Amino acid sequence: MSRRVLPTATVALLLCVGLVGCGIPGESEVRVDGKGPQSGQDSGGDLTQRLPQRQDSDLPEQVAANYLTAAAGGETNEIYQRVNSYIPEGGGKLKLKVGSEPAINLVRLIGQPQAKGVEGTASFLVTIQVQQVGVLRMDGSVGEPELTERSYVFEVGPALASTTGGQAQPAGGMWVVNPPPVLLMSTSALFSYYSQRTIYFWNAGRTALVPDLRYLPRSVPKESQATELLGWLIGGPAPWLSPAAVPLPEGTSRIGNAPMSGGRLEVNLSMPASEVNDNVDLDRLFTQLAWSLLPPNPEGVGGDDGELELKIQSQRRKVADVDEYRRANQPYALTDSPIRFCVFEGAVHQLRDGEEAVESVPIEPEENRNIRSAALSRNGNQVGAALVSADGDRWRLRVATGAEPLRIFAASASYPSMERPIWLKGTDPRAPIGLVVADGNLYRFDSNAQLVRISLPGVPGRVTGVGAAPDGHRIAVIADGALYVAALSTDGGTVSVGRARRLVTSLATVTAVDWSGESGLAVAGAQPDRRSVIENIGVDGVLENLLVDNTRGDVLHLAAYPDNPLSRTQLGVMYETNGAASSSNRLIGREQVAPNPGLPPSTNPSSKPSAPFFRY
């Protein structure tokens, strides 16, 4: 007896149904193709009632796909019970090692499962091609992948029940026999049964909040979510965020749960009195909790988050409206209407649409020349400009800071190659710090344009790109066509980088990167078919969505503006291919280049805007 193997298109449809949707979760803060889903809370419920069951299908491809959802959510015993419900007795049931916790290996499916009948039996061998993305821990964090397998072959078929009277009878349905002895889950299942949540930790100087992306099972009831997140906060930041983020004070623990009652979330902590001995310490702690325990309500989505009440040793210390407090205490200053610039005929110009107001370029016209790429920053009346300028067949970085217009620029030594510079967000406006890649290495620079090489532990090869997160304490780096993220510390004006983590993507090679949000990266590169695209990739490498389907050439210059965590406004990306600038797959015309007083008007009709960027 043999079974018919379904066409690929039919399998794809069934696979999506079996995984309860192929998209990202409603709580995901990273979006696809337009406005998309927004952050929020899930009311939770009985996850086992929503997960596919082994008996739901007798199609071998679907049984294997459903098996890759079984580890989603729940306590340790529940996870292993669900996984083992697919495995017959004597068929290699999984067991948890004593003293350990479940480590769920996340895999991204490549293509569709392919089934092949086993001759002479009613069983099938189902082959699934995968990418090993990472390991989901019980604290919701995703660590680097530990497995290297690129494909799995599952034996799917009927199983025999215990024999009675010497007669073996079929156990019913299709089973997964002798699967790999590890917990596996598809990324599609992760997005179907978990919510992306961000918790925050202060940097060592207590001057900036550093986001830490986690995944909360949708099965956790709404009234229990804050308690779960508080436990993760007390457990400390994900390991890769060292040295940027620091844990709560040693000895911090929660007293009871964190209940939501009458529109007020109540948090009761036990912690050393010396850690909250003044209003400054108390406000820092309250800010961290307000941003971590309840997701922001974007404008026009949902209702009021209510109040947060903080108790220390059961004594009320602070109460505030969460929405109002977060608006007044944002982790970093981001606008929904950033100012755009470009390089046009060797000079920095503003880009505008229609009647958009023109803002003066804060560079003296005599210095605004011979430029290949640039970065501008503003903090009050202090501005900064970092300009990559030609020096014969080599390149220099020219830097100036202070009140505009900037007249006096310091210059670095010359290098055979130099990529676009970036300013680190959140650094002291009196002593700003930037990063630039030159001749295959990463350097820091300051207002004196002195380039100091930065060591990148865990990053082999030649560096060709860098992007900085809006908090200024995480960076993304490209080296030898691969993508890495790392934590960064700027305490005392020095820059140190923790051990980098390589992100697994479906791109064959990566050419440019920038940060599109707190936990998202805009990444340009070539797919295996050599088509150049721009994708939105999560900071842990799990999420991967297409932003620009075809850039019509290699992207070597890419700029994104992170979305505001309060409004989640998607602003798109700007990039350069073949010497011309584009914005979200539309060419930026020379008519969008604002006139720059002090510079002669363009007389070359073939001149094109290039090297577009946003001002922070």
Distance of alpha carbon 351 from alpha carbon 408, whole angstroms? 25
The pLDDT value recorded for residue 175 is 96
**pLDDT above 50 (res 24):** no
The string of pLDDT tens digits covering residues 89-117 is 988 999 988 878 899 999 999 999 999 99
Smallest CA-to-CA distance from 337 within 361, 315, 353 is with: 353
Q: How many CB atoms lie within 10 A of CB 487?
A: 25
Residue 425: the pLDDT is: 87
Confidence class of residue 417 from pLDDT cuts 50, 70 and 90? very high
- Output the pLDDT for position 509: 97
Give the pLDDT score at 449: 96
Q: How far is CA 19 from the centre of its chain?
A: 22
| pLDDT score of 15 more than 90 | no
Segment 129-136 shows an average pLDDT of: 98
Q: Is the pLDDT of residue 44 over 80?
A: no
Sign of CA dihedral 497, 501, 505, 507: positive
**What pLDDT is recorded for position 359?**
79
pLDDT at 525: 98
Helical spans, DSSP H, in 329-451: none
430 falls in which pLDDT band (50, 70, 90)? confident
In which band, very low, low, confident or very high, does the pLDDT at 171 lie, cut at 50, 70 and 90?
Answer: low
Residue 503 above 80 pLDDT? Answer: yes
Asked if residue 193 lies in contact with residue 520, where contact means CB atoms within 8 angstroms, the answer is no
pLDDT band of 522, cuts 50, 70, 90:
very high
Q: Is the peptide bond before 429 cis (omega within 30 degrees of 0)?
A: no
pLDDT in the model for residue 127 = 98
Kindly compute the dihedral angle of the four CA atoms of residues 125, 127, 133, 137, in this order, to the nearest 10 degrees.
-10
The H or E element spanning position 160 is: none
Tokens at 438, concatenated: 């030159």
pLDDT (0 to 100) of residue 277? 83
A 10 A CB-CB count for 393 gives: 7
Residue 396 confidence (pLDDT): 98
- pLDDT category at 198 given cuts 50, 70, 90 is very high
Predicted pLDDT at 565: 85
At 323, is the secondary structure helix, strand, or coil? helix
* Residue 521: C-alpha distances to residues 139, 168, 241, 424, 517 (Å): 23, 56, 16, 16, 7
In the prediction, which pLDDT does 160 show?
65
Determine the pLDDT at residue 356: 67
The neighbour count for residue 164, using CB atoms within 10 Å, is: 8
| Angle subtended by helix axes 8-18 and 60-67, to nearest 10 | 40
User: Residue 493: which pLDDT band, with cuts at 50, 70 and 90?
Assistant: confident
Q: Summarize pLDDT for 255-308 with one digit per residue, the tens.
A: 999 998 888 999 999 999 888 888 999 999 999 999 999 876 544 344 456 899
How many Å apart are CA 233 and CA 141, to the nearest integer? 12
Structure confidence at residue 299 (pLDDT): 45
Model pLDDT, residue 161? 59
Q: pLDDT digits over 359-407, tens only? A: 789 999 999 999 999 999 998 889 999 999 999 999 999 999 999 999 9
- The burial of 529, by beta-carbon neighbours within 10 Å (0-12 exposed, 13-18 middle, 19 or more buried), is given as exposed
In CATH terms, 341-614 corresponds, of 3.30.110, 1.20.1260, 3.30.1340, 2.120.10, to 2.120.10
The residue-averaged pLDDT of 157-172 equals 62
What is the pLDDT at residue 336? Answer: 80
Chain-centroid distance, C-alpha 222: 24
Determine the angle formed by the axes of helices 279-293 and 222-235, rounding to 10 degrees: 130
* pLDDT surpassing 50 at residue 65: yes
Q: How far is CA 370 from CA 30, 122, 391, 398, in A?
A: 38, 72, 9, 11
Residue 307 contacts residue 289 (beta carbons within 8 Å): no
pLDDT at residue 236, rounded to an integer = 97
Phi, psi of 514 (to 5 degrees): -155, 170
Task: Using the predicted structure, report yes or no on whether residue 8 has a pLDDT greater than 90.
Answer: no
CATH 2.120.10 intervals, the chain: 341-614
Q: Is the pLDDT of residue 520 over 90?
A: yes
Find all residues with CB under 8 Å of 181, minimum gap 6, and list them. Answer: 92, 94
Q: Is the pLDDT of residue 457 over 90?
A: yes
Range name among 30-34, 132-136, 503-507 with the lowest pLDDT average: 30-34
Residue whose pair of structure tokens reads 């950033």 in the numeric block: 338
**Residue 303 confidence (pLDDT):** 46
Q: Show Cβ contacts of residue 574 under 8 Å, excluding neighbours closer than 6 positions.
A: 340, 558, 559, 560, 581, 582, 583, 584, 588, 612, 613, 614
Summary mean pLDDT of the chain: 88
